[in-house]
Amino acid sequence: MGMTMSQKILAAHAGLKEVKAGQLINAKLDMVLGNDVTSPVAINVFEENGATAVFDNTKIAMIMDHFTPNKDIKAATLVKQTRTFADKYDIKNYMDVGMMGIEHALLPEKGLVGPGCLCIGADSHTCTYGALGAFSTGVGSTDMAAGMISGKAWFKVPSAIKFNIVGKPQGYISGKDVILHIIGEIGVDGALYKSMEFAGEGLQYLNIDDRLCIANMAIEAGAKNGIFPVDDITRAYCDGRYQGTPVEYTADEDAVYDAEYTVDLSTLRPTVAFPHLPENTKTVDEIGENEVKIDQCVIGSCTNGRISDLRAAADVFKGRKIAKGVRCIIIPGTQSIWLQAMHEGLFDIFVEAGAVVSTPTCGPCLGGHMGILAAGEKAISTTNRNFVGRMGHVDSEVYLASPAVAAASAVAGYITDPEKL
Amino acid sequence: MNAKGRVHKFGDNVDTDVIIPARYLNTASHKELAAHCMEDIDAQFVNKVQQGDIMVAEKNFGCGSSREHAPIAIKASGISCVIASTFARIFYRNSINIGLPILECDEAAREIQDGDTVSVDFNTGVITDETTGKTYQAEPFPEFIQNIISKGGLINSILD
């Protein structure tokens, strides 16, 4: 029986010729990631158990992004603990304010992950790197500690769902609309424990930022990982950037999938996920004018804080003003994206429209800082989760959308189709 | 190993943001995390929960963030076992790794009611609702995972 792309990467890293869905394996890791929230818990586990060495100081990344620049004394204390550990063990990829970015924007950009690598991260959106043809998945802090000690992790080999992407997207359709559409179809546990494998001729229309966005939200369908085949778009992004040796895996012709779906990009419409689950999707055509008035717009995060996202937002904001009463916060994902956006003149457009531009941080996505909602407030956001209380008060609401829809809604003051401005 | 306690019942898709809201993730203290356990889904939970109580929920329990703070908060709040129809995968492995007993059993998860007294035999996977007298059989853990549990968690199993 043939193997899926994900299974092939796992087999190679477990030193096995073949693996089957459901099999429990130990596999060698190419990268172990943690952030300022999860690393301290992993460090406590590491130290409490008497570990005295890391497996490879070049294969661990600690990215201070969730609450940084440190939002309060407790957060500063956690970052200090992590910094001290990183100094002690000479962790090469410890990145703090000035170097840091949102981890899942930063690791691909720095070339720390790439085709064929096996990565675990103590952050659920670690599945992002599947966009580059890597097997990458979120784990907890104890797994991170075990990975730092041994360079290995245990996996239950997943079965897979295949998504055949066909057609050419129209208008403002982006990766975010693709993944929100899929989650709306299969539900927040539609891919539970499984891989989401993307294929098809329509992939040629999805740039690397679209793919990173789609793979990023695989977890919102419960998936273990999301993965794209390696093609010229991947190679163009990774060549000269990826620090490892790229290995291109392809799914076997006779690989078996639990289910197959076809997604026709040409028929997709801009899609919004209503509170309080990413599966509660509606297209903009199903949302009435003035139906959902918003108080805040957030454009950023590991889902949509990349240069294509900022360009899409700027394209909508150019020559327009944000509606009175709407606060718009734009958060470039990394220092490099921040600089590029500035050089391209996007900041002029944002500020003239009435938005603010933040330093890179996860910030408001998880209700950390930099844009917390009060009771009764509503936000349209390019982030990935709209759970109860996610961006602040338990009685606030988050609506998930693409950068173009978020920007258009900030201008209108209510959720709207960019075409209608 | 056994557990017995009063049930705190929840529905589908209980996410880690309501189990432990991110505004409390600026600490790794188990005690502080436990003080806010389930706050955004049941603000009274921490006042009601007693040592040994059992949490029962329906599908996709623990979805969302990978924060290990979620199973840590539940365990430190006094909960002895979580029974659900299904668990989100990161929550599942985090629970195993930190030694919070969890059991998947759809029938039990749907039928057991809030406030029931339930006992669990971890060796056999038998769940008994002592309030109704009904018993349920949960899926046993694979040997690989039993080995992690028997060694007292993941770190012990790799340092062994």
C-alpha span between A389 and A394 (Å, rounded) = 4
Say whether pLDDT at B140 is over 90.
no
Between chains, do B158 and A146 touch, taking CB under 8 Å as contact?
yes
C-alpha span between A242 and A113 (Å, rounded) = 6
Between residues B139 and A173, the one the model is more confident about:
A173
Whether A41 contacts chain B with CB within 8 A: yes
Q: Peptide bond before A69: cis, by omega within 30 degrees of 0?
A: yes
Between chains, do B21 and A126 touch, taking CB under 8 Å as contact?
no
Classify burial at B98, counting beta carbons within 10 Å of its beta carbon; exposed 0-12, middle 13-18, buried 19 or more: buried
C-alpha span between B144 and A7 (Å, rounded) = 19
Say whether pLDDT at B2 is over 90.
no
For B43, which residue in chain A has the nearest alpha carbon? A394
Q: Count Cβ atoms below 10 Å from residue A285 Cβ, excluding itself.
A: 8
Helix (H) or strand (E) holding B9: strand B2-9
pLDDT one-digit tens code per residue, B54-83: 999 999 999 999 999 999 999 999 999 999
| Sign of CA pseudo-dihedral A389, A393, A399, A400 | negative
Residue A173: predicted pLDDT = 98
CA atoms within 13 A on the CB side of B49: 28
A29-67 burial, b at 16+ Cβ within 10 Å, e below that, comes to bbbbbbbbbbbbbbbbbbeebebeebeeeebbbbbbbbb
| Sign of CA pseudo-dihedral B97, B100, B101, B102 | negative
Q: What's the angle, vertex CA A207, arms to CA A201 and CA A209, rounded to 5?
A: 140
pLDDT one-digit tens code per residue, B6-23: 999 999 999 999 999 999
Q: Coil, strand, or helix at residue B68?
A: coil
Average pLDDT over residues B27-53: 97
Beta bridge partners of B81: B54
Q: What's the angle, vertex CA A94, arms to CA A195 and CA A25, rounded to 5?
A: 30
Residue ranges of the alpha helices (H) in A32-127?
Answer: 39-48, 73-88, 103-109
Closest CA–CA distance from residue B102 to any residue of chain A (Å)? 16
Residues of chain A with pLDDT under 70: none
Beta bridge partners of B3: B120
For B143, which residue in chain A has the nearest alpha carbon? A24
A positions 62-81 inside 8 Å of B (CB): 66-67, 71-72, 74-75, 78
A positions 208-237 inside 8 Å of B (CB): 219, 222, 224
| Sign of CA pseudo-dihedral B4, B8, B9, B15 | negative
Q: Coil, strand, or helix at residue B137?
A: strand
| Sign of CA pseudo-dihedral B136, B139, B140, B146 | negative
CB A417 within 8 A of CB A272: no
Say whether pLDDT at B160 is over 80.
no
Question: Out of A49, A192, A394, whose CB is closest to B89?
Answer: A192
Residue A152: predicted pLDDT = 97
Residue B148: predicted pLDDT = 83
Say whether pLDDT at B151 is over 90.
no
Between chains, do A141 and B23 touch, taking CB under 8 Å as contact?
no
Furthest CA-CA distance within chain B: 44
Residue B157: predicted pLDDT = 83
| Strand order through the sheet with A60-63 | A93-95, A60-63, A31-35, A118-121, A135-138
Can you read off the two tokens belonging to residue A211?
A: 């793919």
CB B116 within 8 A of CB B136: no
Compute the mean pLDDT over every residue in chain B, rounded to the nearest whole number: 94
Residue B152: predicted pLDDT = 73
Q: Count Cβ atoms below 10 Å from residue A363 Cβ, excluding itself.
A: 28
Say whether pLDDT at B123 is over 90.
no
Beta bridge partners of A60: A32
Residue B156: predicted pLDDT = 84
Average pLDDT over residues B128-137: 98
pLDDT one-digit tens code per residue, A200-222: 999 999 999 999 999 999 999 99
Helix (H) or strand (E) holding A148: helix A141-150
CA atoms within 13 A on the CB side of B7: 26
Percent of chain B whose predicted confidence (pLDDT) is above 70: 99
Between chains, do A146 and B67 touch, taking CB under 8 Å as contact?
no
C-alpha span between A407 and A126 (Å, rounded) = 26
Strands A195-199, A225-227: pairing kind: parallel
Say whether pLDDT at B153 is over 90.
no
Residues near A307 by beta carbon (within 8 Å), at least 6 away in sequence: A209, A337, A340, A341
Q: Which residue shows structure tokens 């606060």?
A: A327
Residues of B with CB under 8 A from a CB of A: 13, 15, 17-18, 21-23, 25-28, 40-41, 59-60, 63-69, 71-72, 86, 88-90, 93-94, 97-98, 142, 144-145, 148, 153-156, 158-159
C-alpha span between A58 and A90 (Å, rounded) = 9
According to DSSP, residue A123 is labeled S
A positions 360-379 inside 8 Å of B (CB): 366-368
pLDDT one-digit tens code per residue, B77-114: 999 999 999 999 999 999 999 989 999 999 999 999 99
Residue A320: predicted pLDDT = 98
Phi, psi of A121 (to 5 degrees): -145, 140
Can you read off the two tokens belonging to residue A20?
A: 């089957």
Q: What's the angle, vertex CA B23, arms to CA B19 and CA B26, rounded to 5?
A: 105
CB B60 within 8 A of CB A188: yes
Residue B20: predicted pLDDT = 97
For B65, which residue in chain A has the nearest alpha carbon? A124
Q: How many CB pairs under 8 A join A and B?
A: 138
Amino acid sitting at position A364: P
